[in-house]
Amino acid sequence: MSKGISGFSKLSKDEKIGWIAQNYFSNPEGAADLIRKYWNADAALQQLHDEFIENTITNFYLPLGVAPNFTINGREYIIPMATEESSVVAAASKAAKFWSARGGFKATVINTEKIGQVHFIYKGDAAKLQAFFDAIKPKLISGTAHLTANMQKRGGGILDIALRNKTSELPDYYQLHATFDTKDSMGANFINSCLEQFSKTLKEEALNHDAFTDEEKNLQVIMSILSNYVPNCTVRAEVSCPVADLCDDKGIDPEEFASKFLTAVWIAEIEPYRAVTHNKGIMNGIDAVVVATGNDFRAVEAGVHAYASAGGQYTSLSHAKIEDGIFTFWLELPLALGTVGGLTSLHPLVRLSHEMLGNPNAEELMQIVAVAGLAQNFAALRSLTTTGIQQGHMKMHLMNILNQLQATDSEKGQAVRHFEKNTVSHSAVHDYIDRLRNFDPANIEKDFLQ
C-alpha cells in the first residue's frame, strides 16, 4: 500500500508528525512523543531552528565540547567541537597540551581564492569564441556591479574570468572559469549570483555578435555553479620540536617513537587504503570545528579529498620529517570558510562558538580549523605507534556502551573502576554488567573490583 502524500510541505508541524507517526511507526504515540521531546522549550528559539531547513519536525542534537590549551601563533585558544564520536575532543585536548609546552602550533594562510564556473556548449570555431570572449570580458565583469559593490567595499570581489576549452574531453564543451575573493563570507550565494549574471550576459552578447553564425549565436549554457574544489584557498599548520623532547612518557623512547611516527606518515603517503583512514582522522578534528562554527562540512570534505587526490593517487594530507635533530609535522589543505552570513549570525551556539574563539576573521578561522585537524592526526598517530588506537578510544567509548546497556549509576561507577585496569570492548563490558546483575551484590566488591 502506497504511503505517498501530496501537499506534505503545506501541513503544520503537528500534522506532519501525526502523519509520519501513523504511517511509519508501530507505536505512533510513542514516536510522536519522542519527536516532540527534542523540541526546545523556548518557542522563539524552536521557530528559528524550524526555519533553517524544510519539513522540520524536531531537533537532532550533537554534543558541543571544547578542547582547551591550544596555542596557535602565540595566542591561547579553547576550541569548540561539535561531534558524536568518542575520543575526538579528548585526543585534540591531549595533543594541544602536549604541543603548548613545545612552542605551540604555527599556522599560515597561503591563499584565499575561490572558484566558480559557467559550463556551456558552443558548436563553432574555437578561435572565434576566444576573440568573442576577449571582447566581452569587461562586460561580464561590469554586468555584476550591482552584486559586487558590497563585497568590493570589504576588499573582495571577482579576481578574474578565463575561457577554458574542454572540447578534447567532451565535444563542444567550454567553461567560463572565474576566481573570487569573498573575504570573511563563505561566499556561495555571492559566487552563484555572479555566475548566473555571467551566463545571462554571455547569452545576450552571443545573440548580438555579428561574427557568429546562427548556430554559434545559440550557445547553450548547461549550468552556472561554484566549485567546492578550492586548491588555491589553502592553509598550512605545523608543529616542531627537538626529537629528544618528543615524548612526555618515560616508557617511550623518543627516537624510536619519532622513527615509527615518520614511517606511519610515509605509509599514508603511498598507500591509499591507509591514507583514507589517516585523513578521516584529520577530518574528525576539522569537521567538529567546522560544524561548531556554522560552516559547510560537506563542502570542506569534498574539497579536501579532491585535494588529496590531485596527484592522481589518494594520499596523506599530513607530512613529517626530521632534519638536524628537529621533528616537524605539518599539513596543508584547502579550507573555504566564512565567519559572516549563513548560520554564523543565526544559530545561537554558532555565535557562541565564534565568540569563544575571539570572533576570528575567515583567515584566522582557517588556521584554527587546520590546527584542530593536525592535533587530531598527531594524537591518532601517537596512539597507533605506541599503545594502539583501541586502548584510549575504547576507554572513551565505555560510557556509550554502558548507556546502550541501560546501566544504572551504580553499575556505571563500578564498571569505570573495573575497566581502569582491564581492556574495554563491547563484549567485555556486556559480560561485566551481566555478571554484576546476576551475582549476589554482597560479593561484587570481592569478585569484580579487586
Active site residue ranges:
85, 280, 296, 393
Residue whose C-alpha cell is 544559530? 347
One-letter amino acid at 1 equals M
3-state secondary structure the chain: CCCCCCCHHHCCHHHHHHHHHHHHCCCHHHHHHHHHHCCCCCHHHHHHHHCCCCCCCCCCCCCEEEEEEEEECCEEEEEEEECCCCCHHHHHHHHHHHHHCCCCEEEEECCCCEEEEEEEECCCCHHHHHHHHHHHHHHHHHCCHHHHHHHHHCCCEEEEEEEEECCCCCCCEEEEEEEEECCCECCHHHHHHHHHHHHHHHHHHHHCCCCCCHHHHCCEEEEEEEECCCCCCEEEEEEEEEHHHCCCCCCCCHHHHHHHHHHHHHHHHHCHHHHHHHHHHHHHHHHHHHHHCCCCHHHHHHHHHHHHCCCCCCCCCEEEEEECCEEEEEEEEECCCCCECHHHCCCHHHHHHHHHCCCCCHHHHHHHHHHHHHHHHHHHHHHHCCCCHHHHHHHHHHHHHHHHCCCCHHHHHHHHHHCCCCCCCHHHHHHHHHHHHHCCHHHHHHHHCC
Distance CA 396, CA 379 (A): 14
Q: Give the residue among 331, 423, 297, 353 at the shortest CA–CA distance from 65.
A: 353
Residue whose C-alpha cell is 556502551? 401
Sign of CA dihedral 239, 240, 243, 244: negative
